A and B are shown apart, each in its own frame.
Chain A
Amino acid sequence: MKVLIVIPAFNEEGNLPGLISDIRRCGNGYDMVVIDDSSSDNTSEVARQAGVPALRLAANLGIGGAVQTGFKYALRHGYDVIVQMDGDGQHDPRWLEDVLGPIRHGEADCVIGSRYLREGRDLEYKTPFARRLGMYFSSGILFLATRLHITDTTSGFRALNREAFTYFARHYPVDHPEAEALLMLHRNDFRIVEVPIKMRIRAMGTSLFTFSKAALYPIRVIIGFAGLLLKRNKGQK
């Protein structure tokens, strides 16, 4: 099974070397690609120096556009599975095999690494209050729309099989995509599973999820969900 680790990164020159070497230590020789979302620092150069291909976007597309570039890359290079991990180093590569497990066993098309599953809840990682509120909100909206109980809708630690990322290479939400992407998968009969993971504290830099963004997040989620539900289902599974 050919696995690709997609690392979307924006101004992460400080965190990337550590993350890349951690993945190499635990990643069973998996390939990696860094998607540099038009950073103003040396994110691409740092990745290349570490021997990882870096795709530099000419203009900032946001996390959704960056991740979708990774899906397109995986599709063109014939990968079977992709694992998405944030470039800030908060996703611990020690959990890679846990996230890949259900896909290896054919039990899921999409696996989400969750901090909040009852079994194995991450008690050490303190989610910022604003982010936690946004997450509860998107979980609630997703449950209302699909009856799907996902505890960590905003988690960016995900694995997708070829069928799922092929679909996302064509259709993927750009703005705050995590929860919307789950709705899209559910509407197209992809199987979604959560596995418990633990997250690390960001070593350098600051999160892009600021208080002002958090305040607007519920509105964006509602608009995004409404837009998706109004659309004809682009089910090409």
Chain B
Amino acid sequence: VNFILSPKLLAIALIVLVFAYTIQLVRTDRLSAHLAISWIMTECVFFLLCMFDWPLELIQTIFGDGKTIIVAALLGVTWMAVLMLDSLVRISALTAKLKDINQELALVRSEIDRQTGDSKVTR
């Protein structure tokens, strides 16, 4: 039971679950592979960090005994914030493009209607 409830194993299980969910989203076309790549890479890095002890030992050596967890969490949260901001930038750009396309479609449709109307009158 102790082995199953060990933080390391729980963390690995969670990352594997999130990884599987990400892959499932890509497979079912709900998430673009191009947009998912940064998240997939992050999940892989987190997985490797959980598998090996040396990254935490490195943090321990640099920042001291008591601050290992705080520094590791801070780095993780900062990276997640960067990823989220990147996603928001992409969403904002796509929203602006969608608005422009929507407006352009309405303008072109009205122009076609006008020309069709004109040609009907000419005939």
Q: Which residues of A contact B (CB under 8 A)?
A: 35, 53-59, 61, 65, 68-69, 72-73, 76, 174
- Give how many B residues have a beta carbon under 8 Å from the other chain's beta carbons: 11
CB-CB nearest in chain A for B110 = A55
Task: Give every chain B residue within 8 A of A53 (Cβ-Cβ).
Answer: 110, 113-114
In the bound complex, CA of A53 to CA of B110 (Å): 7
- Are B102 and A59 touching (Cβ within 8 A)? yes
Is B105's CB within 8 Å of the partner chain A? yes
- Kindly identify, within residues 73 to 123 of chain B, every residue whose CB is under 8 Å from any CB belonging to chain A: 98-99, 102-103, 105-107, 109-110, 113-114
Distance from A97 Cβ to chain B, minimum over Cβ atoms (Å):
28
Distance from A187 Cβ to chain B, minimum over Cβ atoms (Å):
20
- Are B107 and A72 touching (Cβ within 8 A)? yes
In the bound complex, CA of A72 to CA of B109 (Å): 14
- Are B110 and A57 touching (Cβ within 8 A)? no
Q: A53-B110, A53-B114, A73-B110 are in contact. Are A58 and B99 (CB under 8 A)?
A: no
- Are B109 and A56 touching (Cβ within 8 A)? yes
- Are B102 and A54 touching (Cβ within 8 A)? no
Residue from B103, B109, B114 within 8 A of A61 (CB atoms): B103
Q: A61-B99, A65-B99, A174-B99 are in contact. Are A54 and B110 (CB under 8 A)?
A: yes
- Are A55 and B99 touching (Cβ within 8 A)? no
Task: Give every chain A residue within 8 A of B114 (Cβ-Cβ).
Answer: 53
Q: A53-B110, A59-B98, A59-B102 are in contact. List 12 more A-B contacts (CB 8 A).
A: A35-B106, A53-B113, A54-B110, A55-B107, A56-B109, A57-B102, A58-B105, A61-B99, A61-B102, A61-B103, A68-B103, A69-B107
Task: Give every chain A residue within 8 A of B98 (Cβ-Cβ).
Answer: 59
A-B contact pairs, 10 of them (CB 8 A): A35-B106, A53-B114, A55-B110, A56-B109, A57-B105, A65-B102, A69-B103, A72-B103, A72-B107, A76-B107
